[in-house]
Amino acid sequence: MAHLYLTRSDVKLGYSQGQLIVKDDDGDEGDHRLPFCNVDSINVFGNPQLSTQLVRECLSSAVPIGYYSDDGHYLGRAVSPEHADPFRQKKQVMLIDDAGFCLMWAKMAIEAKLRNSLTLLLSFDDIYRFPDAELEGLRHSLRCLAGATSIDELMGHEGNAAKCYFGCYAKLFSDTEFSFDGRNSRPPKDPVNALLSYGYSILHRSIVGAIERHGLHPYFGYLHAIQRGHAALASDLIEDYRAFLVDKAVLSFVRSGVVSPDDFSRADNGAVYMTRALMRSFTDYLSGEITQRSRFFSAYGDEFRYGFHAALDKKLVSVVDAIDAGDPLLYQPFYWEVDDA
């Protein structure tokens, strides 16, 4: 299936006889055609134009359309409500008050995140070989998870691990033009953080769409607290993918030499933003990382290779099973193995 990321404002998308048609501003169709049945989502950045026929077909076929501003801020989605399952969502909401369910779910989500973060650092030993002492903070937090008795305690261990992880992650940029002194956001204060924030946003919205396709509500999670305007379940489910997809992609993108600090702008408040050209370039790069089918997801009990979206759907099946049965142990977070890269 194809997840389309449109970053050029000089294109028009249409629909005719089962085909998605991409036209340039001059109206030439060329060879830009794709069977609509192969389209799983459309993500629009800036001002590409979509025909009414295409939007109608997307709604009737439950193909979501995500809209983003020129600088990558999420604006909203056009999506059919046909997958919504109010009975399943009722179970989902009721489990928020089950402290035992939430605690075990949170332990599993954070453990997967920390293990994948550690795996990422170890996978770049050709750039920097971390002494055990530099990784001890991350490993110590992992050891403490099992004994945690509250989500607040778990989040404390996760925060300590994040400081260690990003301190180590920064060393992987030491021989580049980019300086990185740790994670910051809202707004990002340096180019690496700008890339990370943008990547997390794209990934988060992909997960929201998968949650909705499986009849769940993205705003009710078990690790992250309910907040207005915050898709808490998507935030739960992104944790084990952050290092594997976004952090790895940002590091590889920077080290490839195709980007320089001059490709970013700085606002008066110190916020750092990508130029439109860079945003298009990184969106294309990240979408390639997200959609490629060269990853082995061993957690799912088979020997098939899955792209991210196929694996995410399998993960959501385990989420549905856990919610339907009220058993968090049925949830299957993703664990990355170095040999899978």
Residue 309 and residue 40 in contact, taking contact as beta carbons nearer than 8 Å: yes
Dihedrals phi, psi of 43, to nearest 5 degrees? -120, 120
How many Cα atoms are found within 13 Å in the side-chain-facing hemisphere of 323?
A: 26
Q: In the chain, what are the helix, strand and coil shares in percent, each to the nearest 5?
A: 55, 15, 35
- CA distance linking residue 113 with residue 23, whole number of Å: 41
Query: Rounded to the nearest 10 degrees, what angle do helices 276-291 and 308-325 cross at?
Result: 70
Polymer length in residues for the chain: 341
Dihedrals phi, psi of 266, to nearest 5 degrees? -120, 130
Give SS3 for 309: helix
Whether the full predicted model's pTM is greater than 0.85, yes or no, is yes
Rounded to the nearest 10 degrees, how much is the dihedral formed by the CA atoms of 79, 85, 88, 92? 30
Q: What is the DSSP string of 77-128?
A: EE--GGG--HHHHHHHHHGGG-HHHHHHHHHHHHHHHHHHHHHHHHHTTTT-
Residue extents of the structural domains in the chain: 2-83, 86-340
Of residues 154, 173, 139, 178, the one with CA closest to residue 274: 178
Residue 105 and residue 232 in contact, taking contact as beta carbons nearer than 8 Å: no
Domain covering 2-83, topology: Ribosomal Protein L15; Chain: K; domain 2 (3.100.10)
Residue 270 and residue 189 in contact, taking contact as beta carbons nearer than 8 Å: yes
Q: What is the DSSP string of 227-281?
A: -TT--HHHHHHHGGGIIIIIIHHHHHHHHTTS--GGGEEE-TTS-EEE-HHHHHH
Tokens in use for 242?
């952050």
Nearest-5° Cα angle at 320, 319 to 324: 120
CATH superfamily of the 86-340 domain? CRISPR-associated endonuclease Cas1, C-terminal domain (1.20.120.920)
Residue by residue, pLDDT tens for the chain (341 residues) are 577 888 787 888 899 889 999 887 665 555 578 899 888 888 888 888 899 999 999 998 888 898 888 767 788 888 888 778 999 999 999 999 999 999 999 999 999 999 999 999 999 888 888 888 889 999 999 999 999 999 999 999 999 999 999 999 999 998 888 888 889 888 899 999 999 999 998 899 889 988 988 999 999 999 999 999 899 999 999 999 999 899 999 999 999 888 998 889 888 888 898 888 888 889 888 887 776 644 545 555 566 666 777 788 889 999 999 999 999 999 999 888 755 44
Q: Is the dihedral of CA 2, 40, 200, 305 positive or negative?
A: negative
